[in-house]
Structure 1
Amino acid sequence: MKTILIQLDTDPQPSSFDRVVAVDAGVDELFSYGGVTPENVEPLVHGAMFTRGPADLKNTALFIGGSNVAAGEAVLEKVLRTFFGPMRVSVMMDSNGSNTTAAAAVLAASKHLDLAATEALVLGGTGPVGLRAAQILASQGAEVHVASRSLERAEQACATIVRNVEGAKLTACTSEGDGLQEALGRVQLVIAAGAAGVQFFDADGWQAADSLKVAIDLNAVPPVGLGGIEVTDKGVEHAGVTCYGAIGVGGTKMKVHRAAIAKLFESNSLVLDTAAIYEIATSLG
């Protein structure tokens, strides 16, 4: 029986990026829908649920994407409410590449640090990728400083993570001023996950942090978030700090994305969210 992936994209046009990855992951058939909302998704889910018998439903899966992560999460919530009993299919949510990118970034850091003994700073920590990177780090026992231009938003992000990670060790801070400098001066890991064109530190700024061991910049658009890190850096040392750029992390992100798509067809009951996708990432070694 052929595997079918149903792409539910919240943007008007379904992402060509996500379509290519699905094909490369070995999906037999790909059905793509744009403009998906919680209000119109139910018939699409019913089409996935009721066309094959319970024993064959593992061959159908849903992928939720789009550029708006909040919209994707709302669609996921509606999808899960539509399932009942054995009538369900596996589903993955990766709007804006948020979960797979965050998983790849933390996996890169884990190759050089014991995350359970690490203090980390996530810049752009309230954004789609930053929030999830902070959540994964917290789930691995790291102490995480979540930075945002708004302290209130940083505090809200911390509250969101606490709901998902019991015992999370989190501190909210602003991404400017003395608080940020103080946080940088005590961490071993910094992940820059801000918006395109936002630079948090120039090279001299982050290289002056004596405790820093690993720096990861996920912005490929100049100026990068951490000056002096090249987008292609992958485990490259700058001033004694192991560095990764956006493309350096991107190769792993693609592997995680493809592996997660393949994983969907192992059963009909998987929900691949932030935690589940990081678990897949760690299985890749």
Structure 2
Amino acid sequence: MPKRSILHMFDPMPNNSPFDINMALDAGFDVLMPYSNVKLENIQNLTQDAIFSRSPSGIKKTGIFIGGRDIGLAIDMLQATKPAMVPPFEVSVFADPSGAYTTAAALVACVEKALKEVHGKALTDCKALVFGGTGPVGIATGIIASLQGANTVLVDHLSVDTANDAAKQYNRRFSASMTGAVARTDADKIALLADADIVFCTAKAGIRVLNAAVLAQTEQLKVAGDVNAVPPAGIEGVDANDMAVPMIHATRSPKAVGVGALAVGNVKYQLQRELLKSMLQSDKPVIIDFREAFSKARGLV
């Protein structure tokens, strides 16, 4: 009887994401085993139970997916699987907490493409603001942009200390160079946008972050990307399907273009599917986090 493919889905939260379960089934895994309330100290034993119960042929059809909402904990869990494996008992591992890694990778790749095609610039030439910058997608977006050379600012809507703490924590962890800022009011946003080239809008769904009046004051804006697909859009005037479409409200930044949530979401969907499929198709185990996700996303835009 041929071995069936199994994906063990480790999640520190009370429930696994239905989104990830659907994606894994559609990518070709035969059996999904969700585990909730998983702690970091559980990872070694769970990993070894998953690998030592299958023959070498079965090992090639076994994978581990790490979810949750904490992007740092997800990396810790991913790293904890590595010493638990003993060749040839090694399996592929994919971390994507709350879809943060694949969403951030898709967002930065789409904005990077628009920046190059419309303005002839690279991320390393630019200052980037990440609104909603202290959430999982925002932090992952900031890390990716910073590692690509952008002068990156994580913007929180309540506390500069929260933003600075997040920037410092993940700078240490991933050798990034982010800073923090707060934007409680439209005036705060206008001040931050005065010398910004790029906006990444990663705030909660259904929250308008940048309205027309704020956008009208920008003079240096080149590309703005939004991941909020729930009306109203995070950036006024940027429609969900826009891909490098002129921003009608950024009247003082006449070449500014927007990237909408569904344009990003389409790349995110393709990206997660392709990464899940790679776990089944690769001859050797693959280890996937936001870095591998961004590299793959660049090839999809």
- Answer yes or no: same fold by TM over 0.5: yes
Distance 1:170 1:70 in 2: 16
Classify the secondary structure of the residue corresponding to 1:82: coil
Check if 1:283 corresponds to 2:285.
no
* Amino acid across the alignment from 1:121: L
* Amino acid across the alignment from 1:122: V
Say what the alpha-carbon RMSD is for the aligned residues. 2.6
* Amino acid across the alignment from 2:66: I
Corresponding residue for 1:190? 199
Corresponding residue for 2:16? 14
Task: Please show how residues 203-214 of structure 1 align to structure 2 within 5 Å.
Answer: 203-214=212-223
Corresponding residue for 1:121? 129
Q: CA deviation at 1:193?
A: 0.8
* Amino acid across the alignment from 2:150: A
Q: Is the CA contact 1:99–1:274 (under 8 Å) kept in the aligned structure 2? A: yes
What is the aligned counterpart of 2:28 among 26, 45, 48?
Answer: 26
Q: CA deviation at 1:40?
A: 4.1
Per-residue CA shift, 1:110-134, capped at 9, x if unaligned?
A: 1122212122111111110011111
Q: Is the CA contact 1:116–1:141 (under 8 Å) kept in the aligned structure 2? A: yes
Task: Please show how residues 32-111 of structure 1 align to structure 2 within 5 Å.
Answer: 32-53=34-55, 57-67=59-69, 69=71, 72-73=74-75, 75-84=77-86, 86-111=88-113
Corresponding residue for 1:161? 170
Distance 2:85 2:215 in 1: 48
Per-residue CA shift, 1:77-135, capped at 9, x if unaligned?
A: 54345334554322111111100000010011111222121221111111100111111
Deviates more, 1:227-236 or 1:181-190: 227-236
Corresponding residue for 2:238? 229
Per-residue CA shift, 1:209-242, capped at 9, x if unaligned?
A: 1111111121233443322323333333222432
* Amino acid across the alignment from 1:157: A
* Amino acid across the alignment from 1:135: I
Q: CA deviation at 1:180?
A: 4.0
Specify whether residues 55 and 79 from structure 1 end up closer, same or farther in structure 2 by C-alpha distance, changes over 3 A only.
same
Check if 1:152 corresponds to 2:154.
no
Corresponding residue for 2:271? 256
Distance 1:183 1:284 in 2: 31
Q: Is the CA contact 2:244–2:258 (under 8 Å) kept in the aligned structure 1? A: yes
4+ residue runs over 6 A deviation: none
TM-score (norm: length of structure 1): 0.87
Deviates more, 1:121-130 or 1:174-183: 174-183
How many equivalent pairs are there? Answer: 284
Deviates more, 1:50-59 or 1:4-13: 50-59
What is the aligned counterpart of 2:208 among 182, 199, 221?
Answer: 199
Corresponding residue for 1:273? 289
* Amino acid across the alignment from 1:152: D
Specify whether residues 277 and 125 from structure 1 end up closer, same or farther in structure 2 by C-alpha distance, changes over 3 A only.
same
Specify whether residues 53 and 163 from structure 1 end up closer, same or farther in structure 2 by C-alpha distance, changes over 3 A only.
farther
Q: Is the CA contact 2:8–2:32 (under 8 Å) kept in the aligned structure 1? A: yes
Specify whether residues 34 and 165 from structure 1 end up closer, same or farther in structure 2 by C-alpha distance, changes over 3 A only.
closer
* Amino acid across the alignment from 2:299: S
TM-score (norm: length of structure 2): 0.83
Distance 1:144 1:199 in 2: 21
Classify the secondary structure of the residue corresponding to 1:187: coil
Per-residue CA shift, 1:172-196, capped at 9, x if unaligned?
A: 2112356543331112210111123
